[in-house]
Chains A and B, each alone.
Chain A
Amino acid sequence: MATIPKRTSDVIDHFGPHVAYAHGKRLDAGAQAECLVKTHCCFCGQQCGIQLKVKDNTVIGFEPWTEFPFNRGKLCPKGVKRYLQGSHPDRLATALARSESAPGGFASIAYRDAISRVAAEIERIQSAHGNDAFAVLSGASLTTEKAYLMGKFAHMCLRTSNIDYNGRLCMVSAGAANKKAFGIDRAANPWEDIPRADVVWISGANIAECAPITTDYVWQARENGAQIIVVDPRVTPIARTCDLFLPVKPGRDIALFNGILHLMIENGWVDQLFVDRYTTGLDAVAEHVQQWTPKRTAEVTGIAETHIRRAAEIWGTARRSFLLHARGIEHHSHGVQNVLGAINIVLASGRIGRPGCGYATITGQANGQGGREHGQKCDQLPGGRDLGNPDHRAHVASVWGIEPESLPQPGVDAYEIFRKIERGEIRGLLSICFNPVVSLPDNNYVRRMLEKLEFYGAIDFFLNETARHANIVLPGSLHEEDEGTVTQAEGRVIKINKAVEPPGDARQDWRIIQDIAAALGRERGFTFTEPREIFDELRAASRGGVCDYYGITYEKIENRLGVFWPCPELEHEGTPRLFEPGSWNPIARGSGPFYFPDGRARFNVAAYSPPAEDVDEEYPIILTTGRVVSQFLSGTQTRRIGPLVDQYSEPRVEIHPTLAARLGIRDGAWTRVRSRRGECTLRAMVVNTIRPDTVFIPYHWPDARSANQLTIAAQDPISKIPEYKVCAVRLCPAESEPAYVREETKR
C-alpha cells in the first residue's frame, strides 16, 4: 500500500518543502569562490548559460556567463536563485524506507539495502505478473545521457513495455505534429532568426514568464521593424505592447489558423511556387478551410472579425516571419491538430528554411528536446527511432548487443500507466524526475492509483509530493552534481558540468540505475563509469537516425559552445537551421528539404472540434492553467527557494472584473473553484487581462492548492497530451478562509 505513512504536515515538517535563503558564506560579501563552473540553468528548455561560484563543495552564488551565445548573461529570477537548491535543508542524503514509527514517516536505511529492496520487488512483481507489471516513469529534466539510460534500463534490463516520461505533459503534441508535417521533431530555426523577421506570430506562449530570455529576441525583432501578433486568452506581459492581440477563447486555436489560411488563399497570399515545389496536400486543406470564413472564425474563436482579417493581412503579406507556439495550443485534446493548423499557415507562406523565416515550438522542460529523442518515451528508441519499426529495433539491438526480439513492444503513455495500475496490470513503479501528483490532471485519481501499487520506488534529491507515497526513496543527484548533455529549445546540444559532489549517500542517478541493474544480476550494458561513456554509446545508437548525434563530442560542444543536431559525422558542423538546400537529410537523400522520402512537407487537414469538456449551465466558466515566472513545473525545486516563493507565494485565480462582479467576488477574496473532479479554494486576483469567460490558475502547488485537482484527464488521441488548457468550472465566493489555511496558521 503506497499510502502516505503520516499526516502530510508531519511529512512536511521533516522533509519540506522548507524555504532556503542565502546565509553564511552565501551572504558573506568577502567570500571568494574557489572556482567558477560554466554550466547551464537547471530549469526551462532555453538552458541559459550560467557560471556557478563554488566554495567548499557548495554553490555559493552565480556569475553571469556573457559569452554563451543564447542568453549572453541574461537570466530570469529562477536562474538567478537556482543556486539556493544546493546545500538545502530538505536535501536527501540517505536512502529512505517508509516506516510508521519514524519521524516524518520515513527512516534512513543503508543505500545498499535500499537497492536490494528495489531489485527484490522488481524481481517479485515481474516473476509473478510478467515484465510489463513493473513500470518506469522518467523525466525530461534529466540529461540526455540519463534519459537514454532510463530507456535502455526499461527496455533491456527490465524488458518492460511500460516506460514513459513527463515530456508527455509538455512537448508531445508539437513533436507529433512536426513529425507528421516535416518528418522531424525539432525547432526549425535557431532563435537568431527571430530578430530578422518582419512578423513574429506567438500563439499560446506566455514568453515573458515561461521563456523569459526569448523576450529580448522578440523585442529586437520589433526594434528592427517587425510586427508582433500575440494569440492568448490573457494579456500576458509580452501581449501588452504587441501590435495585434487576438484574445482567443481557450481551445479554439485550430479555428483561427484555418480562418487565417482561408483568407491567405482568398487573397492570393500563398507562396504557390514553394507549395508546388516543396509540399504536398494543400488542395485537401484548402477545401477544408473553405468553411472557415472570417465570420465563422470569429464566432468560434471569440476574436473580432476585423482583428482576424488584420492578422491574416499582416501574416499573409510578410516577406519574412517567425511563428512560435508553446503549451497554450498544445495542451489540448486536439493539441496535435492545433499545431498542424499552425504549420499549415507557415507552409502556405513558404517562409521556412531560410534566414529570418522560421517556425518553432518553445520547448518547456530543461531537456525537453534531448529527453524526447533517445528512448524514454513509450514508443521510442534512441536517435528518434521507433520501437515498433523492425529496422530500428535491429539497429539499436545491435548497439546494445541483444536480439531484437528481446526488446519489448511499444508501451503506453504516462497517464495510461495509472489506468493500468487501476486495472491491476501494473503493480510496481520506479520513478525519477517526475512529480505526477502535482503535475498530472485530475490528480486525486493519480493519488488513489499510487495507493494501489504493491511497490513504489522513487529516485529524487528532495522528497517530492509523489515520493511521499514511496516504499523506498533513493537519493539522486542535483543538476550541479553531475555532468552530461542536454539539447535546448533551438536544438543546440550543450554541456552540463559538475560543480559539487552529492552529499552523504546521494549519488548520480545513472549510478543508481546501474546499481539496480547489478542487484538484479543484469549488469551487462550497465557498467558505464562516466557520463561520457554513455554519450559515446548514445552517439552510436543514434547514428543514421533522424536525431543523429554521432558527430557530436563533449570537446566539440565545449569548443563551439554547443552543436546543433543533426550532426552525422565528426567533421560535420551541425545544423542550426533545418530545411536549407543541401542540408543533411538521411530520409530525403537529396530529393528535397523535408524529412520524407520525396523531400516534401505535408499539409494536414486540421479539423476543429470543441474541447473535451465544454462549458454548460452547471459549469459555465472555462478554466485554463499555466505557469508564473518565479516557479517551475511541479515546484519540487522552486517551492524550496525562498526568494522565488516570496515573489509569488500561492496560486491565485485570475478573474475578469465583469465576471467577478457578476459572482460577487472581490480582489483578494477567497474563492471556491469547482469542477466535476474536485475543488480548490484560492484567493481571487481581479484583473482585466483575462477573457471574461475564462479563469486562470497556475499549477505549481500540491495538495489543497493544486489546480490539477480540477483539470480533466482528457488526452489528445495522437500525442496523449492532457487537456490542461480547458475544462469547465464554476466559481463562488468562499464563506471563510479554507481549512488548509487555518491548519497552517495553527502550526
Chain B
Amino acid sequence: MGVPGNMEFFIDPSRCIGCQACVQACSECDTHKGHAMIHLEYIDRSLSTQTAPVVCMHCDIPTCAEVCPADAIKRTADGVVQSARKPRCIACSNCVMACPFGVPKMQVEMELMMKCDMCYDRTSAGLKPMCATVCPSQALFFGTREELAELRPRSRPANTFHFGNQTITTKVNMLVPKGGGAASVNVIDAFDEEPVGMSISIDPLLAGMYVEDQRNAS
C-alpha cells in the first residue's frame, strides 16, 4: 500500500507564520522520533518575519538518488523518495550536496542521511503527514487538487523548477500566484542582483507611518 494517488502535498510560503509547529511535530513522527526532517528558516529576520518551510519535494527523477554511490535512496512506485536505507548508506553526503532544494540532512552520529519521507507510515495508511496536519496556517496542505482548487482560488500549484540547465519536476507542489511560469533559480542571475535583502526598498512599516513621527524618531 502506498500514498493514494489523488492526495498531494502543497506548500504556500505566503501563509507561513514561522511558528515551527511543523518542525516540532515532525520530530514526533514514529519513524524518526526526536529528529525533525523539515526545514524552516527566516529569509532575513532583520528585514521581515518571512519564513520558508521546506519538505522533501519528492522529485520525479531524484538528484539525491542519482548521485548516491551506494544506491541507498529509493523512490517507491507512489512517487515518494524514501529516506536513505540504513544498511546501504555510507554517509558520504553526496545527496546532501547535490539536492537542489537542500533537503537531506547527514546525521553524523548515526552515519545516516535522513530526510522527509512524506510521513510514509502515516500517508500510506490513509493519514496526512504530521506537519501538514498540525500546520496552523495551512502553509503546508495535504489534500486533493479538487479541495485545493476550492480552498485556494488565488493560487496555482507549480511542480516544475529550473536550476540552471537542470529541469526538475516534483511530486510536491509549491503554490504560486495564478499566472507566471515555472520558477527559475540560476546562480548566474544572481551576479547582477543586489545582495539579498538590500533590494527591498519599501519598508512596510515606514510606509504606513506618519512623516512627522518618522522625523521625530530619526
By a beta-carbon cutoff of 8 Å, the part of chain A in contact with chain B is 22, 27-29, 61-62, 64, 66, 73-77, 79-81, 208-209, 212-213, 215-216, 219-220, 222-224, 235-241, 244-247, 249, 298-299, 301-305, 307, 629-630, 643-644, 647, 656-659, 662, 667, 685-693
Are A691 and B136 in contact, with the CB atoms below 8 A?
no
Task: Report whether A693 and B213 are in contact in the complex, using a CB–CB cutoff of 8 Å.
Answer: yes
Which of these binds chain A: B27-35, B110-118, B181-189? Answer: B27-35
The reply to whether A235 and B213 form a contact with Cβ atoms under 8 Å apart is no
Residues from chain B with a CB closer than 8 A to the CB of A302 are 209-210, 213
Name the B residues within 8 Å of A667 (CB-CB).
Answer: 46
Contacts of B20 in A (CB 8 A): 77, 629-630, 647
CA distance A469 to B159 in the complex (A): 59
Q: Which residues of A contact B218 (CB under 8 A)?
A: 658, 662, 692
Are the CB atoms of B137 and A208 closer together than 8 Å?
Answer: yes
**B209 near A304: Cβ-Cβ < 8 Å:** yes
Name the residue among A216, A244, A301, A307 with the largest chain B CB count within 10 angstroms. Answer: A216
Indicate if the CB atoms of B48 and A80 lie closer than 8 Å: no
Q: Please, which residues of chain B bring their CB within 8 A of the CB of A685?
A: 45
- Select from chain B the residue with minimum beta-carbon distance to A29: B30
Q: Which of B54-62, B84-92, B99-107, B146-154 contacts A (4 or more CB under 8 A)?
A: B146-154
Residue of A nearest to B45 (CB): A687
Partner of A690, one of B27, B47, B205: B205
Minimum distance in angstroms from B190 CB to a CB of chain A: 23
A133 nearest CB across to chain B (Å): 46
Interchain CB contact (< 8 A) of B24 among A81, A236, A241, A693: A81
Shortest distance in angstroms between B110's beta carbon and chain A's nearest beta carbon? 14
List chain B residues, Cβ under 8 A from A209. Answer: 17, 19
A303 touches B209 (CB 8 A): yes
Q: Let me know if B213 and A77 touch, CB within 8 A.
A: no
Q: Which of B5-55 contact A (CB under 8 A)?
A: 14-21, 23-25, 27-28, 30-31, 33-34, 45-51
Given A76-B21, A692-B217, A307 and B137 contact (CB-CB distance below 8 Å): no
Q: Are A307 and B208 in contact (CB under 8 A)?
A: yes
Q: How far is the CA of A551 from the CA of B178 in the complex (A)?
A: 49
Can you list 26 A-B pairs with a CB-CB distance of less than 8 A? Answer: A22-B28, A64-B134, A74-B21, A75-B134, A76-B21, A76-B136, A77-B20, A208-B137, A209-B17, A212-B137, A215-B15, A215-B136, A219-B15, A219-B137, A220-B151, A223-B154, A237-B18, A238-B17, A240-B49, A245-B204, A249-B213, A629-B20, A644-B24, A658-B217, A686-B46, A691-B217
CB-based nearest A residue for B26: A80
By the criterion CB–CB under 8 Å, are B49 and A688 in contact? Answer: no
10 extra A-B contacts, CB within 8 A, seeds A74-B135, A216-B136, A235-B205: A29-B31, A80-B21, A212-B17, A212-B21, A237-B16, A240-B48, A307-B208, A656-B217, A691-B217, A693-B213
Q: How far is the CB of B39 from chain A (nearest CB, A)?
A: 15
Are A246 and B136 closer than 8 Å at their CB atoms? no
In the assembled complex, the CB of A652 is this many whole angstroms from the nearest CB of chain B, namely 11
A696 to B31, CA, bound (A): 40
Give Cα distance in the complex from A686 to B14, angstroms: 23
Determine if A213 and B210 form an interchain contact, defined as CB atoms under 8 angstroms apart. Answer: no
Is the C-beta of B1 less than 8 angstroms from some C-beta in chain A? no
Which residue of chain B has its CB nearest to the CB of A657?
A: B46
CA distance A249 to B210 in the complex (A): 10
- A210–B14 alpha-carbon span in the complex (Å): 19
> In this complex, what residue of A is CB-closest to B23?
A77
Taking a contact as CB atoms under 8 Å apart, the answer to whether B209 and A235 are in contact is no
Are B136 and A74 in touch, CB under 8 angstroms? yes
